[in-house]
């Protein structure tokens, strides 16, 4: 098999993404979401550029400075916003602090939106479009961190094209690992202008896998027969089931609209601790501003969450909260 | 004359700084404040580190991403605070979002304080000490951006040692250009541990001047006979005179305590514009949050501001505001 | 399963490498050899450092500048040497051009040896030891690029410990992909001093795989029952069979001692072209100095090369060369 | 005076360079030659690019990795050549090892020529043109490191335009410090295409001097009334006088044609040492290949070398060599 992406499976991935997005796109596979984001930024942002992100974005909080590393030192500006979303006005206000061509200012280059967001919510197509218009007015690229794109798309019920380039997205990190793949993510360019250097950036960061078909085979299986959407639908349903069942239990508080596969909740007293002690697996969650006084937990459902598991977890919560 | 800092004048600079700070320090001269800050950060912060700054700090706003460049991609976290100052609680809260050794988080490495601040105020020694204690609890270095250190020191009325290392500062950018030099700044290390690589970092960023005595001669003249303090005293006096005189003019609003050589003011209607049209030289000033509704102006006094000029400017303001 | 390497399989990998190398080592898995090399260099070399490599080394020729990228701009110095090997005298001569502590010179930091070499030869343990002594005299780290370490080890017939740290190697890229894994390489540190920052460097370069057990499972299977050595033995045998059979065919010239799984050969006239036209898969090979006048080809055997395939290839060569 | 280059003196510098080079150029001032080279490379070379230099070039040997730093990790390839010059065939051969668009190879981007060379010789316009043709065939930019451009120009006796863009040079570092200025160098672009990002690159590397007129005033004085050419003529004459007088002294060997302001010589026995002991100031000189067996010395004449000093030095040499 030819190495480095010259194999037939990788060619098939390219065709599949064109079909998926109803236009010619350029698609590159890598093995982690951090690499997908970092390389996308490096392609779209000069070293002296600014990348605008939500203050809770993975790229800002959980990638150990990868965006700064891949771009050669771009500046990330963290924007606050309810429910994990950036509001167009907030973006516009932040952009106003940076003057185009003013040599003392790093230059606005990229808006990165997380879809679904770090709060488990989903930008509507209209919301994306409104943000993209603000971005376009300053000629900055719109990037979507779609680590959980499938969950968002299922919630929106629209086409991949409508949820991305038709709403003004220029390039995206198309996640697959969190939704079932072993280790496969795609960087997708909806316009060719940033693509020229991408091959070199990927190679020199060690992200061009020699037996590249290992990535391609995962991605093809993921897309085959809409498996990715079925997996995400299931995960979202489990989240809905979970949040509905938790709703109303004494002392339990839900924090954001549940629109994808994450439920943010706070438990009373030491219930979180006792749930973990009984084997429940979830993480404490810190958010900018922290409305939950340090008590917020993130519950993630996935393609392999069983409805029975959800029920058992809820029963456990109820037993601890309403003894 | 030996080149690259092996000349007698540069040796004398080293002795002078030891005396000035009442301890052995390591001192390196460069020609810009942006270089001084960037190199100081590079010495104290790994590429995966976090540098905490005030949201209005020069390093965050006006250096076109230099800190990110010099450090190889460190992350700057912008902290908000009244009067241009970071509060200890704000720092502590921000630090709490970064877990030591947690691989997904960039690692807290440096707190950078601007003295005097970008709002023309001055941290007291007690305020610095309180911040340094928070920093030390997380083993992060305290950097002072002293582009206007002389103005702050004159206001504080204490010794350079008291205003820096005795209050917990580990390294500083010691400004001289804004207070009279042509182009000379010093990076001063109060502890030797960060110094080892500094020579190489300075050279490879093009900041080792071959005829190094050009920098040293400026710095010696600056320190001779406390010239630097006399120049800063004058600048501060002019700012006080200016703000006192502006106070009470109809529609003129002063925004921050005037403690150094900067006065922040908003003028009514189109007065700012008309002042400029009559030859007054100042800049519109944007700050995070912008309490002045886009009307804030920064008036800077300096070593070569004349009292008569201040009077004339005030008269002009009065004439425009109280016609 | 816990993510990011906190799973039991990854714990088992750590234990297995300790046993393999007969000492405590620190081991980190990544998915490409370019990442393994780049991260190893970043851990052992400051941005102002020098990495000495053979002029034909993969890190110099075939990684699109990855070492420079990962290190933040270290300088690679290419050394020439017969049969793909660096000679101790050549290293000593190159080191003499860099003065320790001399600010104008990038500072010698790493010697990187490729084992087996890019010419299909193998450094003896004595050769490594001699180079390591030159390196140690200047306090620079010895890195082994072991993308084909298994093939070298089988040829040497010694233990992994003898071929590495006992001969003076400080850290290595332990390859597995070329010898049968899908995508798995290890960075191994024989001394702990460089390890502190490695976790952060790996994460921020996007090389911390979330479902890390995917890498660990490959590595465990690779090491189980000495599978890796059996695979490499087979590949080496196929190379020996191939070179022996090619030897003596009219116009065919072999270029280097065949000690691992590569055979370098030049064919007369248009034979190389006609072999490719008949479906043979190999690459033209350029080397510094190019003794073969642009005619050199690299023939690689592997774990899945069949003896029959070798025979068929040789017959094809013979038929074309001796019609 | 407006800061950051918006002053009238800096405007005058721009006009003067247009006149000097008989075309519209873009000119930027910085304070060191290392910065000029590094920033020029950063403007003309992507992070995954290759910069070809002579093995003895300042950028390769004496800048502590600055080119790698400014470019974000470009690769320098050192070319050998007699008399400090790169030969067109050598460049062509080196270029042949890098395939355009081949993802594993860093991509050829810049040829940097040193004029006058590190061996004190001068490329003729025809030699530059021949190299530029090789470069142009691969679409790489031609950079001239003109730290000693004035000395070269005086030797060539042609116009600045003929010695640069008319011979195919795309951008240059125009040195002034070594020929009389305190600290002033210019980066000159003969074509606008690389210029767009330069302002930001300069600022973020700390090389935008706030009181920019300090640099401009130096450069204007340097160019006024052809002062720069008169200073260089004198320096060159002193070198010629020195080499002529040394020629024929027993045991003294001259190594390269003396065409600018440097004389490379080896002295017998311990004469070099004894000259230094008597107060002569020069440096031992190491060159790739070292034809002088470690005995080569570099004697530099300058704008402030007196003919009497040359005579005294020569007499000293004669007395020590022919006692």
Please check the confidence at residue B87 and state whether its pLDDT lies above 90: yes
Q: Is A210 on the interface with C (CB under 8 A)?
A: yes
Mean pLDDT across C67-71: 98
| Residue A42 three-state SS | helix
Cβ separation D286–C64 shorter than 8 A: no
The 8-class DSSP code of residue C2 comes to -
Q: Which residues in chain B are contacts of D203 at CB distance < 8 A? A: 34, 63-64, 66
Q: Which pLDDT score, from 0 to 100, does residue B57 have? A: 97
Distance, in Å, from the CA atom of C76 to the CA atom of C51, rounded to the nearest integer, reads 5
- DSSP string covering C111-167: EEEESS-TTS----HHHHHHHHHHHHHTT-EEEEEETTHHHHHHHHTS-HHHHTGGG
Residue B307 CB neighbours (<10 A): 13
Separation in Å, CA of C206 to nearest CA in chain D: 18
Reading across the β-sheet that carries B107-114, which strands appear in turn? B26-30, B185-189, B171-175, B141-146, B107-114, B49-54, B75-79
Report the C-alpha gap between B4 and B29 in whole angstroms: 11
Q: Is the dihedral of CA A108, A113, A118, A121 positive or negative?
A: positive
The size of chain C, in residues, is 323
CA distances from B18 to B12, B197, B223, C126 (A): 10, 20, 12, 52
Tell me, yes or no, if C208 comes closer than 8 A to chain B by beta carbon: yes
pLDDT of res. C116: 98
CA dihedral in degrees (B134, B138, B139, B140; nearest 10)? -70
Give how far A107 is from chain D: nearest CA, Å. 9
Task: Give the containing element (helix H, strand E) for A222.
Answer: helix A213-223
Contacts of D202 in chain A (CB under 8 A): 103
Nearest CA in chain B to C202: B103
Q: Closest Cα partner for D239 from D220, D256, D226?
A: D256
Q: Give pLDDT, residue A281.
A: 92
What's the pLDDT tens digit per position in D119-147?
A: 999 999 999 999 999 999 999 999 999 99
Contacts of C78 in chain D (CB under 8 A): 77-78
Residue C112 neighbours by CB distance under 10 Å: 28
Tens-digit pLDDT profile for residues B256-292: 999 999 999 999 999 999 999 999 999 999 887 788 8
Residue with tokens 């030591």: B100
Residues 31 to 70 of D: which have CB under 8 A from any B CB?
Answer: 31-36, 38-39, 63-66, 69-70
* Cα A206 off chain centre by: 22
Question: pLDDT of C81-113, one tens digit each?
Answer: 999 999 999 999 999 999 999 999 999 999 999
Q: Render D33-99 in DSSP notation, one character per residue.
A: HHHHHHHHHHHH--TTEEEEEETT-HHHHSSTTHHHHHHTSPEEEEE--GGG---HHHHHHHHHTS-
Let me know: does C142 contact C162? Beta carbons within 8 Å: no
* Start-to-end Cα distance in chain A: 61
Read off φ and ψ for residue B20, nearest 5 degrees.
-60, -40
For strands A107-114 and A49-54, give the pairing. parallel
pTM of the model: 0.97
Contact D238, B209 (CB under 8 A): no
| C314 Cα to chain A: minimum distance (Å) | 21
Write out the two tokens for B199: 């020579």
A260 touches chain B (CB under 8 A): no
Q: Which of residues 104-133 of B touch C (CB under 8 A)?
A: 104, 106-107
Reported as a single tens digit per residue, the pLDDT across B114-163 is: 999 999 999 999 999 999 999 999 999 999 999 999 999 999 999 999 99
B202 contacts in chain C (CB < 8 Å): 103
> Which of these, B288, B278, B252, lies nearest to B60 by C-alpha position?
B288
Q: Do C64 and D106 touch (CB under 8 A)?
A: yes
Residue B288 confidence (pLDDT) = 78
Q: Which chain B residues are closer than 8 Å to D39 by Cβ? A: 206
Structure confidence at residue A107 as a pLDDT band (50, 70, 90): very high
Residues of C in Cβ contact (< 8 Å) with A64: 200, 203-204
- Nearest residue in chain C measured CA to CA from B69: C72
- pLDDT band per the 50, 70, 90 thresholds, residue C205: very high
Share of chain A above pLDDT 90, in %: 94
The Cα of B58 is separated from the nearest Cα of chain A by a number of Å equal to: 9
**Longest Cα pair distance anywhere in chain B, in angstroms?**
64
C-alpha to C-alpha distance for C186 and C149, rounded to whole angstroms: 11
Q: Tell me, yes or no, if A89 comes closer than 8 A to chain D by beta carbon.
A: no
Higher pLDDT, B306 or B193: B306
Collapsing DSSP to helix, strand or coil, C247 comes out as coil
Gap between the Cα atoms of A240 and A222, Å rounded: 23
Query: Within the 175-204 window of chain C, which residues sit less than 8 Å (CB to CB) from chain D?
Result: none
Distances (CA, A) of A31 to A38, A300, C3, C198, C200: 12, 21, 14, 19, 18
Compute the CA torsion angle B159, B160, B165, B166 (nearest 10 deg).
0
For residue A203, the chain D residues in CB contact (below 8 A) are: 48, 103-104
Of B144, B146, B208, B213, the C-alpha closest to B175 is: B146
pLDDT computed for residue B142 by the predictor: 98
Mutate to test the interface with C, among D68, D107, D289, D296 (most CBs of C within 10 A): D68
d(CA D119, CA B218): 35
Reduced to 3 states (helix: H, G, I; strand: E, B; else coil), residue D73 is: coil
Contact D64 B31 (CB under 8 A): no
> Distance between CA atoms of B43 and B71, rounded to whole angstroms?
8
Contact D48 C65 (CB under 8 A): yes
Tens of pLDDT along chain D (323 residues)?
889 999 999 999 999 999 999 999 999 999 999 999 999 999 999 999 999 999 999 999 999 999 999 999 999 999 999 999 999 999 999 999 999 999 999 999 999 999 999 999 999 999 999 999 999 999 999 999 999 999 999 999 999 999 999 999 999 999 999 999 999 999 999 997 778 899 999 999 999 999 999 999 999 999 999 999 999 999 999 999 999 999 999 999 999 999 999 999 999 999 999 999 999 999 999 887 788 888 999 999 999 999 999 999 999 999 999 98
In eight-state DSSP terms, residue B239 is H
In the prediction, which pLDDT does C1 show?
83
Q: CA-to-CA distance for B135 and B71, rounded, in angstroms?
A: 20
Say how many CB pairs under 8 Å bridge C and D: 71
Decide if pLDDT at C293 tops 90.
no
Are the Cβ atoms of C97 and D71 closer than 8 angstroms? no
Query: With 90 as the cut, is the pLDDT of residue B323 above it?
Result: no
DSSP string, C27-75: EEEES-HHHHHHHHHHHH--TTEEEEEETT-HHHHSSTTHHHHHHTSPE
Which residues from D are below 8 Å from B211, CB to CB?
177, 182-183
Residue of D nearest to C100 (CA): D64
Asked if C282 reaches chain A (Cβ–Cβ under 8 Å), the answer is no
Identity of the residue in B66, B178, B183 whose CB atom sits nearest the CB atom of D205: B66
Buried b (16+ CB within 10 A) or exposed e, A174-194: bbbbbbbbbbbbbbbbbeeeb
ipTM of the complex: 0.96
CA distance, residue D9 to nearest chain C CA (Å): 32
Are the beta carbons of D66 and B206 closer than 8 angstroms?
yes
On whether any CB of chain D is under 8 Å from the CB of B4, the answer is: no
The residue in chain C having the minimum alpha-carbon distance to the alpha carbon of residue A211 is: C182
Q: Cβ of A214 under 8 Å from any chain C Cβ?
A: yes
Chains that touch A (3 or more CB pairs under 8 A): B, C, D
**DSSP secondary structure of D245-284:** HHTTSTT-EE-S---SSEEEEE-STTHHHHHHHTT---EE
A99 in contact with D at a CB cutoff of 8 Å? no
**Considering only CB atoms, which chain D residues are within 8 Å of C48?**
64-65, 69
**Minimum-distance CB partner of D206 among B207, B210, B214:** B207
pLDDT at residue C294 greater than cutoff 90? no
Model confidence at A64, pLDDT cuts 50, 70, 90, reads very high
pLDDT digits (tens, 9 = 90+) for A169-194: 999 999 999 999 999 999 999 997 77
The maximal CA–CA distance of chain A, rounded, in angstroms, is 64
Structure tokens, D92: 């062509």
Chain A residues whose CB is inside 8 A of the D199 CB are: 103
Q: List the single best residue of A43, A173, A184, A205 to mutate versus C (max C Cβ within 10 A).
A: A205
Instruction: Measure in Å the smallest separation between the Cα of A130 and chain C Cα atoms.
Output: 31
Q: Specify the DSSP class assigned to residue A106.
A: P
Asked which of A126-135, B292-301, C124-133, D186-195 is least confident by mean pLDDT, the reply is: D186-195
Give D49→chain A minimum CA distance, Å: 9
3-state DSSP call for residue D228? helix
**What Cα–Cα distance (Å) separates residue A203 from each residue in A13, A30, A37, A237, C55?**
19, 10, 15, 39, 20
Q: Do the Cβ atoms of A245 and A314 come closer than 8 Å? A: yes
Paired with B28 in beta bridges are B187
- Helix extents (H) in D183-226: 198-204, 213-223
C306-311 — which CB contacts under 8 Å span 24+ positions? C307/C238, C307/C241, C310/C238, C310/C241, C310/C242, C310/C245, C311/C245
Are residues A208 and D107, on separate chains, in Cβ contact within 8 Å?
no
Measuring CA to CA, which residue among A191, A51, A201, A157 is closest to residue A114? A51
- The answer to whether A154 touches A122, Cβ cutoff 8 Å, is no
So what's the pLDDT on residue B291? 86
Report pLDDT for D290.
Answer: 82
Mean pLDDT (chain C, rounded): 96
Nearest to D205 among B33, B178, B205 (CB): B205
Tell me which residue of A15, A26, A17 sits closest to A193, measured CA to CA.
A26
Average pLDDT along chain D: 96
Check residue B286 and give its pLDDT: 84
Q: Which residues of D touch B206 (CB under 8 A)?
A: 30, 32, 34-36, 38-39, 63, 66, 70, 205, 207
Chains with 3 or more CB pairs closer than 8 angstroms to D? A, B, C
Identify whether B116 is preceded by a cis peptide bond (ω within 30 of 0). Answer: yes
Q: CA–CA distance from D275 to each of A3, A276, B55, D267 (Å)?
A: 63, 80, 59, 10
DSSP string, A265-296: EE-STTHHHHHHHTT---EE---TT-TTTT-E
Sheet holding D26-30, edge to edge: D26-30, D185-189, D171-175, D141-146, D107-114, D49-54, D75-79
Q: Is the peptide bond before A116 cis (omega within 30 degrees of 0)?
A: yes
Closest residue to B106, CB basis, from A64, A71, A288: A64
Task: Report d(CA A131, CA A148) in Å as an integer.
Answer: 19
Answer whether C46 sits within 8 Å of B72, measured CB to CB. no
Q: Which residues contact residue A194 at a Cβ distance below 8 angstroms, ignoring those fewer than 6 apart?
A: A43, A44, A141, A170, A171
List alpha helices for C165-226, DSSP H.
198-204, 213-223
Instruction: Tell me the Cα Rg of chain B.
Output: 20
Task: With beta carbons less than 8 A apart as the criterion, state whether A89 and B80 touch.
Answer: no
C contacts of D42 (beta carbons < 8 Å) = none
CB contact under 8 A, A106 and B72: no
- pLDDT attached to residue D293: 85
> From the CB of residue C322, how many other CB atoms can be counted at a distance below 10 Å?
10
Neighbours of D321 (CB within 10 A): 16
């Amino acid at each position: 098999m030819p190495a480095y992406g010259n194999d037939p499976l990788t060619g098939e991935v390219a065709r599949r993404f064109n079909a998926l997005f109803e236009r010619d796109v350029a698609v590159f596979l890598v093995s982690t979401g951090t690499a997908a984001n970092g390389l996308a930024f490096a392609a779209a942002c000069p070293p002296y550029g600014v990348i605008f992100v939500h203050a809770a974005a993975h790229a800002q909080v959980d990638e150990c400075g990868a965006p700064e590393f891949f771009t050669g030192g771009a500046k990330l500006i963290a924007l606050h916003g309810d429910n994990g979303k950036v509001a167009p006005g907030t973006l516009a206000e932040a952009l106003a602090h940076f003057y185009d061509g003013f040599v003392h200012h790093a230059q606005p280059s990229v808006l990165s939106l997380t879809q679904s967001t770090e709060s488990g919510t989903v930008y509507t197509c209209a919301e994306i479009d409104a943000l993209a218009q603000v971005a376009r007015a300053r000629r900055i690229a719109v990037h979507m961190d779609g680590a959980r794109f499938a969950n968002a798309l299922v919630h929106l019920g629209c086409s991949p094209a409508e949820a991305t380039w038709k709403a003004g997205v220029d390039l995206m990190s198309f996640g697959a690992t969190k939704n079932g793949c072993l280790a496969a993510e795609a960087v997708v360019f909806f316009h060719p202008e940033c693509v020229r250097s991408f091959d070199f950036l990927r190679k020199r960061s060690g992200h061009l896998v020699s037996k590249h078909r290992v990535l391609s085979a995962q991605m093809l299986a993921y897309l085959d027969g809409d498996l990715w959407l079925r997996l995400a639908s299931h995960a979202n349903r489990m989240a809905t089931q979970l949040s509905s069942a938790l709703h109303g239990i004494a002392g339990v508080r839900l924090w954001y609209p549940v629109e994808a596969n994450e439920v943010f909740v706070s438990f009373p007293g030491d219930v979180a601790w006792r749930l973990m002690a009984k084997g429940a697996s979830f993480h404490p969650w810190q958010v900018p501003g922290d409305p939950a006084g340090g008590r917020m937990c993130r519950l993630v459902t996935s393609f392999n969450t069983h409805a029975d598991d959800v029920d058992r977890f809820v029963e456990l919560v109820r037993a601890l909260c309403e003894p």
